[in-house]
Structure 1
Amino acid sequence: MDRSELVELLSPEGLRLLDALPEWDSKADIVRTVAHLRGQGHPAGLVATVLTQSKLRAKARAKFGEFASRMLFTEAGLEQATRLKVAALHAGRFSRAGIEHVADLGCGIGGDALAMAAMDLEVTAAEADEVTAAIAAYNLTPFPRVRVLHARAEDVALGGIGGAWLDPARRTTTGGMTKRLSDAADYSPGLDFAFGLAERMAVGVKLGPGTDRDVIPSDAEAQWISVDGDLVELGVWFGVVARPGIRRAALVIRGDAAHELTAGADSEDAPVGPLGDYLYEPDGSVIRARLIGAFARANGAWMASKGIAYVTADTAFESPFARGFRVLERLPTDERQLRQALAARRIGTLEIKKRGVDIDPAVLRTRLKLRGEESATIVLTREEGRHVSLLVERI
């Protein structure tokens, strides 16, 4: 969205038209919808803009729930925006630390600032991109204690502000296409600035969950968060918003329940041993936090193979930090023999999970020429360094 499109969208006509649209339906005849709106006298540019917003609002419901129906978005801003339930956790850290005024530097469309304002924190939000800053201002209009600035994070005066939250831009938009930045050195604001603020105030920094761990300062708390099975972020915390003695944390949120595994440092892997009757795949947050060993030892389990994120045990257990599988039988590792084994079991639908093997599941599934009415799951991995193929069922 460019500046002229935003101006048109924020006009009384634009906002009325957007709010009057029916709920977005991806199967609807868009050509007919456009023709209908153009027939009512609405300009072509405005019609395209409001339909894009309607689509983004529908997509945003997964992150913002019912709030999405009264918000505005950009494609890149929505992609990077924090889920509201996670933003509430960020805001809660500042609130519990007694910080009353937070600077949200690089606020994007305003998701985190919204959660902070909902907890009655005063917020100074800043966004370098003019269009995105205007959208954040619109989204945060209901909150009188929020001030939105069109400014670079580095240029915001922080006098009298007790804490800062930063979500550095990790995407760039060129020619209407959004591209993820792979190098942390290209983030805006840069990590040197973000981490440097910790010398003067409490700071939280949101990074992508796959961020190179070498960039995490040794004195920070690093918390990886997954939501309903999706690994969504790495939060790096300093000062009073970091928890004493905790340097690594894996927070797993499923529905309304949250569970956390914490440690003072990376956990040493558990010993390696032969496969037991059960196999467990740790949640992505546990893997990224390098707490697999702590998880395994807490449940009487051990590593299936060195350097591979599967643990195994002889007894079943339930844990929010892993998905469990019962090992039904070992299948051949040779592709031709594996195809024959699956055919003998009349398996036509196959889920392929793999770790530690160089195989493309989609390509292998095609080559297996599956036929039959049965469905199954196989795990291709290593046992004490050796390739194994396991027929499993979820527990």
Structure 2
Amino acid sequence: MDLDSLRTLASPAGSALLADATAAYGREDEFALGTRLRRDHPPELVAAALTQARLRARASEKFGPADAARMLFTVDGYEQATRAGVARRRAARITGVLGPGARIADLCCGIGGDLIELARAGLDVTGVEADPLTVAVTRANVAALGLTATVVEGDAVALDRSGFDAVVCDPARRTVRGRVFDPDAYRPPWSFVLELLASTACVKVAPGIPHARVPAGVEAEWVSERGEVKEAALWSGGFAGDGERIRRRATLLPSGATLTDADDPGADVREPGDYLYEPDGAVIRAGLVTAVADVVGGGLIDSTIAYVTADQHVPTPFARAYRLTDRLPYDVKALRRYVREHGIGTLTVKKRGVDVLPERLRAAVRPRGRAAATFVVTRVAGRAAVLVAEPV
């Protein structure tokens, strides 16, 4: 989509075409839908409308059906946009610190994932984006959702930030080759990120950011949604949850449950008990596995493995629990015999810290039968082992 296509889609005739394409997409065969629409509209405009209908369908899960059906997207903008639930949680945290009406600069705002929720939270938000098409898309989204926000085209680095109470920034972490994991390859550069973090700011970063790259006095938060890690963010200045006491946080959505290093007294390695706990990905990224061990009254099965064990089942949102039924040596013949003797036909293989391909191991032990089991292939006190488990 280019600016001319966007303007046409925003016209009354274009809006009607887009509404038709959106409503019919997924219900009609896409080829047949395109053929029908081209009877009354230029082919290039139909192509743009179908692209938007396709992106709206994909965006329904990220933004919710109601918003997605009214928004416009670019392919890159959709891929890089913050999910609505994550953005909503961030906006609530910012509002909780600064209060409604605070002036926020949303740098590198993209198609408006964060900007939309910041505006909905009652903040006076100004989005800054360098790409003219993305700026036009974001303005269209703000208008379509009935929100009040300012979106300007410009260089985020050059913005005069003196009139703002805080800054949110989402540096570009993609190139034509794919995702960028090295903070030094971000755009704007890491030096600019550090400049922002010297004041009150929230900067999105890749979940794999090394802990050593987090500046002193800055809180790093890893966020997962329904068990999948979505992002990490660095909170500084007035947003930090006490930069000296809290450096790392894991937050789980949609519950909002949160765990920090202030909750972590550490844990020892011990023999497997009756239960095994698999911490949420955000907990693992935040280095808070031992905090989960404290929550469940347990310990680690190995000092380098992100599994926790305990003698009792303690429900916690921060980890999935399994009841352990057996412990076996990591030996294919012994495992095959166990599978045969227990009539296991449905076998789930999980692995951590051991060089094994689950699908190959599953094929090698030849599961047949009616029973189901989970093999957790991992290290226990430094040695490879298989823990037989049942999800709680």
TM-score under structure 1 length normalisation:
0.91
Stretch deviating more after TM superposition (59-68 or 370-379) = 370-379
Tell me the alpha carbon deviations over residues 276-327 of structure 1, each in whole angstroms, 9 at most, x when there is no partner: 1110011111111111112212321000011100010111111111000000
User: Which amino acid is the alignment partner of residue 60 of structure 1?
Assistant: A
* C-alpha RMSD of the superposition: 2.1
Of 330, 346, 354 in structure 1, the residue corresponding to residue 327 of structure 2 is 330
Cα contact 2:97–2:239 (8 A) shared by 1: yes
Of 129, 132, 141 in structure 1, the residue corresponding to residue 131 of structure 2 is 129
Stretch deviating more after TM superposition (161-170 or 12-21) = 12-21
Distance 1:370 1:12 in 2: 61
- Look up the match of 1:191: 190
Distance 2:26 2:337 in 1: 42
1:146 is displaced (CA, Å) by: 1.1
Which stretches of structure 1, 4 residues or more, deviate above 4 A after TM superposition? Answer: 22-28
- Look up the match of 1:151: 154
Distance 1:165 1:63 in 2: 20
Distance 1:67 1:369, change over 3 A: same
1:394 is displaced (CA, Å) by: 0.7
Cα contact 2:8–2:14 (8 A) shared by 1: yes
Of 165, 168, 172 in structure 2, the residue corresponding to residue 165 of structure 1 is 168
Distance 1:383 1:197 in 2: 43
Distance 1:333 1:24 in 2: 54
Of 207, 211, 218 in structure 2, the residue corresponding to residue 213 of structure 1 is 211
Does residue 115 of structure 1 match 2:117? yes
Structure 2 portions without partners, runs of 5+: none
Report sequence identity in percent: 41
Structure 2 counterpart SS, 1:86:
helix
- Look up the match of 2:74: 74
Distance 1:7 1:268 in 2: 58
Cα contact 1:23–1:58 (8 A) shared by 2: no
Tell me the alpha carbon deviations over residues 128-163 of structure 1, each in whole angstroms, 9 at most, x when there is no partner: 222222111111125564111111211222231111
Stretch deviating more after TM superposition (280-289 or 3-12) = 3-12
User: Which amino acid is the alignment partner of residue 235 of structure 2?
Assistant: W
- Look up the match of 1:31: 31
Distance 1:26 1:145 in 2: 32
- Look up the match of 1:391: 388
1:82 is displaced (CA, Å) by: 1.5
User: Which amino acid is the alignment partner of residue 72 of structure 1?
Assistant: L
Tell me the alpha carbon deviations over residues 346-380 of structure 1, each in whole angstroms, 9 at most, x when there is no partner: 32322111111011213333333333333321110
Cα contact 1:122–1:146 (8 A) shared by 2: yes
Distance 2:24 2:183 in 1: 36
- Look up the match of 1:310: 307
Cα contact 2:22–2:69 (8 A) shared by 1: no
Cα contact 2:77–2:111 (8 A) shared by 1: yes
Cα contact 2:292–2:308 (8 A) shared by 1: no
Cα contact 2:298–2:309 (8 A) shared by 1: yes
Of 285, 288, 291 in structure 2, the residue corresponding to residue 294 of structure 1 is 291
